[in-house]
Structures are given as C-alpha cells and as structure tokens.
Structure 1
C-alpha cells in the first residue's frame, strides 16, 4: 500500500529540532521546511518519512540512500546524528533530497481497488457450534452458516455502493477452504501503482462461559514480524533495501489495520450496540491475518454459545444489522483512505 503514511507519532521530535550544524552540513529540519513537507519520525529506528502531497521520501540515520515513493532509490551520504541530537546530511545529500520534491508529483489519487471478504470455515469445517433448548425448541447454530450470510450481505452492499471496485468473496457457498487457500486468493491479486486492497475475515465466537457475549475486531499485533516484500520481486537496486522497505510497509499495514478495525467496530456499535456489547479491539496473530500481505482484520460477530445472543443470531434482522454495521465501517475507512490520498 503505497500512499502517504499515517502513524501515531507524527510531527518533529525534539531531538531533530536542534539547529547547530557544522560547515558543509544541513539540518534535516531545514530541508523539511524548505520543501514544505511533514515529518513522520520513528525515534526507535531513527527513520523519517517526509510527505508533501502524494510525494514521500524516506531517510534513516546511518543508511546511505533516500527512498522516493517507496520504490525509487537515490544514493546519498548517510544522514548522521550529531552530539547535540540533531540529524544532519551533507550539502550534496541535501541537494539530492530537495530535488526529489522538485519532480512532478503523480496525478492519480490513491484508491482502495480491491476488498476481500472471507467467511470463516465451511464445508466439513462447521466452526463453532451453539446448541440450546429455548422455550422447548432445540436451536443449533453453526458458525459457517452465520458468517456466510453476513459476508454475502456485506458483499452485496459493497457492490451496490462501490461498483468500480473489485469485491472478492473467498467462498460463496458451503465449501471447505484451507487457510492457505484463503490468503492465496488475497495475495494473488495484482494492483496498479496507485491502488491498495484490504482483507477482512468474518467469524462467530464461542466460550465455555455461556454468559460471554458481544462482538470484537482483531488485528495483527504490531510487534509481529512478517515478510511482505519478496526480494525476488524487486530489481537489483531495490534488493539492497528489501529489509528496510519491508519494515516500512509492515508499519503502514499495521497502522491501516488498526484504523480499519476501529471503523468496523464503530459501525457495528451503531447498528447492534444496544443489544450486543462491544468487546473492543483485540490483537492476535491469526493465520489469515498474519499471512495476508495487506491491511487485514478478523471480525467476531457474536457468541453462538450464549443463549440470548444465539436467539439474536438466529434472526435475519440481527444478521442484517451486523452486516450493515460492518459495511458502514468499511465504507468509512475507504472514504477516509481515499480522501487522505488526494
């Protein structure tokens, strides 16, 4: 997902604001002000991303190159941290930095071109099962059936309101798909340069505690490390920076996954929050989330093992409210994403 990077720690670090420099050196803050950019600074990795419009330039202390728009390398003398805490570059490197912002910026906006909805389980794998005796009637709920109904409804709403987007449902009927097949479907999608995609897996919950109830949205823990960039897909020049590029994209995917999860949680809170409680945002390295090379979340729509929630999940009205809440969250995320990429 190549677009203006959003992070939790944004503006200039105090360490970068020190102004004293040696002859022949240029303070990085001076360069940022000169090009009219915004700095996103990672104090742990000592890495900065400078955004102006749709142009992004990445630099890192001790690394002898600049990375433009996450795909073009410019060799420079490595940025250095001085004893006073300031980060500086040589005057020649400063000229190279400024020149990257002098190039015409891309005209196309960033868009979410593909949305993948993955109903969990299916076929020989029923998922969680809730069995209840309610008012003398036996009620059996299988997760695979509930999540398929919800997923189909979400897809229909997406297709109706975003007809220009590629909406993929990993299974449209009661068939079994291995976890590897689900992520393979997602990772096989080819994107154009200004396009991005998101992945959402939908599940139902269960607990030995029959009082447990509510909905929740999961994302991959930020500390989990995965390979997003395959060095074999890069040209010879880019292969030298594959680990750094992978780290940058991984941070971006984590931030976007959290933002996506929050929008979905808020959407569900609006439509079913009065009858089913929100259990909040959660972190876990689920297989489909950690192996989808894009922002990805996993939604738990409710507990089939809770008698009262099972009665709700057994009604078309409640399932439609769930799907509407999920759709509203997706739509809000898409609008915010595409607006920020203008």
Structure 2
C-alpha cells in the first residue's frame, strides 16, 4: 500500500498528525468536554418531529443560507447577552471548526498570517496550516492569561491579518477581561492599518461562553467591523453529535464567509435538529448551571488534595503540576478514568461530568496520589 509520504502532499503537512483525542471505552470518559447529560426526552421527540418534516423534502436542497436557523440563533444570543442582533449578523456552519475554517479561507491564506496565544485550542493553528495561513504563537503568563503589553508587542512585530483570542481558553479554562480584548483589537487594527489601511480580523472563540463567570464580550462587536465572536452548540447545548457552530459579527463579515462556504453546506436535517434544540435552550442551560456547580466542587476537591488548579470559566478543569503528566494520565486510565493530556507541561485536563463521574475521577486522583506517596 502507498504511504502518505509517497503522496504529493503539501510540504507544510508532512510529518503532522491529525487532531483528535483518544477514543477509548472506559467507565468514566472525561476527556472531550462533552455534556454528560443526554438530551431530554421531550427534545428528542421534538427533533424526531422536525427531522421527519425535513425528510419529506430531502429531494430538494436545503435552505442555502439557513435563514430561519440564523434568526433563532440571533434571538438566542440577544436574549442571553443582552445585545440585540439581527440575523444578518449571524452565520452558521458544521461546527465552530468549519466557521473558523471559513474565516481563515476568507481572511487568511498564502502570504498572510494568523496569531494566537498558546497554549490554546490547537485547531486554530491546524486550520491555519490547512488554509495555507502562516501561524505565529504568542505568549501566555504563568497563570495562562494574556499580558496586554507582551501581546501588543507581538502584534506590532508581526502585524498578523488574523488574531485569535480564546475566551474561555481551551485547554486552560481561563477567560479574558473585556479590557484585554479591546486593547488587543485596537493593537491589531493599528498594526495592519500601517501596512494596508484595512485593519485585522480579531476572532474571539467563545465555545465555552455559557460556562463562564464573566459576561460574554459579544456586545463589543458593536462599532467594530472586524471583531468576530464564534460559538458552538456542542458544549452548552449538549449537542456535540449535531456539529453546529456559529458566529456573530458585522454583516460584512457574514457576506465575506459566504464567498468561501460550500453550496448548501448545512443539511436540512442539521438545520431542523439545531432549530429544535434552540427551542429547549432554557432547559439545556439549566444543565449548564448544574455543571458549573460541579466544576467548582471539583476545583475545591483537587486543591484540597494539594494540586495546582487553574481557575476555570469552562466545563473542564486543568490541574497538576506533575513531574510526568503522561504517567499520571496512564495511571488514571488504569483506574477506569479517561482525562486529556494536551501537552501542557505538568498538566492534565478533566471534563466536568455527572456527580458520580466526578466522584469516580476524584477517587482515582486520590488513589494515584497515594500510590505516588508510597
């Protein structure tokens, strides 16, 4: 059989690995930031009804621009952030990753660069590479925040066309204050205007916004035409299998991504399912409140064990520090608990599960800690 190295693959893809977490069948799976709660039966029935309706017209293409769904998403964001949005300011695609890909297809590409602050969501750099966009890794502080002065210096030095700000940040869980986002937005605009007069695109990845202690910074898009906020239904809506992501921005940004989106990219079934889920937003956000309380309990328990825990505004917790995080990961797995090793030195990340799953995780940590002391 032909090996990948024998194919005429692009040079920047050679030797790289695809994104992905281990998919292992263990009693407690807490490694991919999914909701541990199945969808309510009433919502399952509603989805079935909506999909049945859509099935009757599957011989036709779906609404190419997902107008009705975008209106629902705009209404949801308006209700939860307090910032009025028009459907023309919202765009949806197959997961927030496709949204990010479309943004880099439109605003990145060969000869252009994107900048992010690592450690952060690794798909930002992977999608940049896949679209031929250069990648610049900016620094984070020891507490995994972003130092404004240091970040501004990197932006001035490299003048990127696209800047990614992940808040709450994956894998650390840290969120950015509005003042930081505003400062870096202005720095990015000044840096690029000095080159071409057009400014830079600044993307705030808010995949975990509903879990944050801080209010969403989405209202900052007002009057800032190149500031974009991206979201997903995989986390707070407990719909990871749906694959529905979306953005909120100036209508001109939505017009731009439509230049690169594939025709009829959102199936009629996807649109019908997402629409049904949005009807149950209040119920699903109730699960979010439960998970936030469990997350905070896990943080307290881990700290009581003497572990260093990063402040989290997401549905996961980063903890350590370990001399060999990989070895601890394997020992937790031996106890039937799967967490995530993201490669952050000395740290692991655990998704917030049900109370029973979190108890099993904490028991495993206690056992591993005890084994280390013996």
TM-score bucket of the superposed structures, by smaller chain: under 0.3
Kindly indicate whether structure 1 or structure 2 has the higher relative contact order, using CA contacts under 8 Å at least 6 residues apart: 2
- If the length of structure 1 is used for normalisation, what is the TM-score? 0.26
- If the length of structure 2 is used for normalisation, what is the TM-score? 0.24
User: Which one has a larger percent helix, Structure 1 or Structure 2?
Assistant: 2
Larger radius of gyration: 1
